[in-house]
Amino acid sequence: MAKNKTPATDGDIAPVDTSWHEHDRFGLFIHWGIYAGGARGEWLKKSERMTDEEYQPYFDNFNPDLYDPREWARLAKNAGMKYFTITTKHHDGFCLWDSKLTDYKSTNTPYGKDLLKPMVKAFRDEGLQACFYHSLIDWHHPHFTIDQFHPRSPWPNIEKFPELNKDRDMAKYRKYLHGQIEELMTQFGEIKMAWFDFSYVSPEGFPNKLKEDWDSAELEKMVRTLQPGIMINNRLDLPGDPDFATPEQYQPNEWPTNDQGKKLVWEACQTFSGHWGYSRDEEGWKSVPMLIWMLIDTVSKGGNLLLNVGPTGRGEFDQRAVEALDGMGKWMRVNSRSIYGCTESEFTPPTDSRYTQNGKHLFLHLINYPFRHVYLPGLKNKVAYARFLHDASEIKIITAPDNMAHPDLNVPGGEDHLRLEIPVMQPDVEIPVIELILK
């Protein structure tokens, strides 16, 4: 399935093989930084318009003494995740590794150590691939120009921008950005994906943050040269199809395409509760069935799910995240065959269900468990065998002619339907899956 073109650059750069990603389907996003101390998300510096001084206590008091990345990796693996994407730096500019280009890093906090190296190692030891998120935006760097998203934005007083930015030089920031990315691409072994965040057009009068500001073409070239085969996301404002698209906090209605209708490799990124960084008081946590549904729905449209956790300032996963991951793991332990290596099916599923498919294996996910019968359009005479995935127990295929005792049962709604008879009681699985082995 290797597909994607590469690059908007010339030269001998290896084509991008996305097949591992399209196989693995499920990854862990981790948003972690000093904002965990604020415990109200990763944007608090901006949303509360903090000055650097006001934000400094999060740095001065950052000491995640319970941090054990091996435990994180185990939790991710048990949930069925195959790769992880870590925020090496978020918009606040704080760095998780011992960058030579800044003092604003974990080694200078009371914790005193590099957080990234042991994390990458721990996840790799558990068999998960390493991917890096890196914020293009930087609210700490003195040369990053102030725009509408910056904590020092004078919004809506546009006339103040030139004065505020007069001593800021994006060229200097750009050099820093490229230098740090070079460190990340050379000091941590093979990095499978680069997740840059983000570019934007500003309202008139405010500085944009687009490809010229990052020198995205040069950045892309460097990254692809240093990490041949790496997948790069779609937020660098580069022309052409990205290696993968990143719908955020919503489920696309169908497989995302480019303007010509070509299906893109894609990965939905989703939170447990709304914020990405640790958010103590957030109440709206998604239920385990909803999370499982999101994973199934994503794969049924040919995509991946990158599910985020925001570890605490002590260095642990929120207990609610641990429970959710555990719930997903229980489901994945017996149903992951309908996820790994699967994609959109050519068949249309009945109401309240989703298909995923891997060759001759068609997986029917019963989102709302129906009573006694399931009618599958277009599948009459096409299925050799049917069973529940979780316990491999046979599901009866009802072949006509018809049930004379109950003529009403006779295939309502379409001659080409295949009828399955399922137990009246839903088995003890959040979302039961029926595996249909096609002829």
Under the rule (CB under 6 A), what is the footprint of ligand GLC? 31, 42-43, 197-198, 248, 269, 276
CB of 156 to ligand GLC, least distance (A): 21
Residue placing its CB nearer to ligand GLC in the complex, 85 or 165: 85
CB nearer to ligand GLC: give 34 or 269.
Answer: 269
User: Using CA atoms, how far apart are residues 130 and 124, in angstroms rounded to an integer?
Assistant: 7
Nearer to ligand GLC, 250 or 371 (CB): 250
Least separation in angstroms between residue 367's CB and ligand GLC is 26
- Which residue in 303, 211, 315 sits closest to 21, CA to CA? 303
DSSP state of 350: P
Least distance in angstroms from the C-beta of 76 to ligand GLC: 17
By C-beta, is 146 or 269 nearer to ligand GLC?
269
Q: Which two tokens stand for residue 43?
A: 């944007």
3-state secondary structure 287-303: CHHHHHHHHHHHHCCCC
Q: With contact defined as beta carbons under 8 Å apart, do 326 and 79 qualify?
A: yes
- The residue among 26 and 198 lying less far from ligand GLC, judged by its C-beta, is 198
Q: How far apart are CA 227 and CA 229, in angstroms?
A: 6
Q: Which is nearer to ligand GLC, 116 or 389 (CB)?
A: 116
* Distance of closest approach, residue 33 Cβ to ligand GLC, in angstroms: 10
Calculate ∠ Cα 48-270-327, nearest 5°: 120
Closest by CA position to 56, among listed 40, 38, 30, 32: 38
For residue 398, give the amino acid letter: I
Q: Which of 212, 131, 230, 225 is nearest to 173 (CA)?
A: 212
Of 207 and 341, which CB lies nearer to ligand GLC in the complex structure? 207
Are the CB atoms for 391 and 339 separated by under 8 Å?
no
Measure the CA–CA gap between 371 and 73, rounded to whole angstroms.
40
Distance of CA 100 to the CA centre of its chain: 29
Q: Of the two residues 31 and 286, which places its CB atom closer to ligand GLC in the complex? A: 31
Least distance from ligand GLC to the Cβ atom of residue 87, Å: 7
Q: How far is the CB of 149 from ligand GLC (least distance, A)?
A: 8
Alpha carbons 350 and 278: distance in angstroms, whole number: 39
CB of 284 to ligand GLC, least distance (A): 17
Smallest separation, CB 398 to ligand GLC (Å): 46
Burial tier of 163 (Cβ tally within 10 Å: 0-12, 13-18, 19+): exposed
Q: How far is CA 197 from CA 97, 181, 207, in A?
A: 18, 13, 17
Shortest distance in whole angstroms from residue 135 CB to ligand GLC: 7
How many other C-beta atoms lie within 10 A of the C-beta of residue 289?
A: 13
Q: Least Å distance between CB 273 and ligand GLC?
A: 14
Given the complex with ligand GLC, which of 43 and 331 has the nearer CB atom?
43
Output 104 or 276, the one with its CB closest to ligand GLC.
Answer: 276
Counting every residue, how long is the chain?
439
Angle in degrees, CA 228, 231, 237, rounded to 5: 115
Q: Give phi and psi for 176, each to the nearest 5.
A: -60, -45
Q: Which residue type sits at 257? A: T
Q: What is the closest distance, in whole angstroms, from the C-beta atom of residue 90 to ligand GLC in the complex?
A: 6
Question: Which residue number, 193 or 269, has a Cβ lying nearer to ligand GLC?
Answer: 269
Q: How far apart are alpha carbons 76 and 54 in whole angstroms?
A: 34
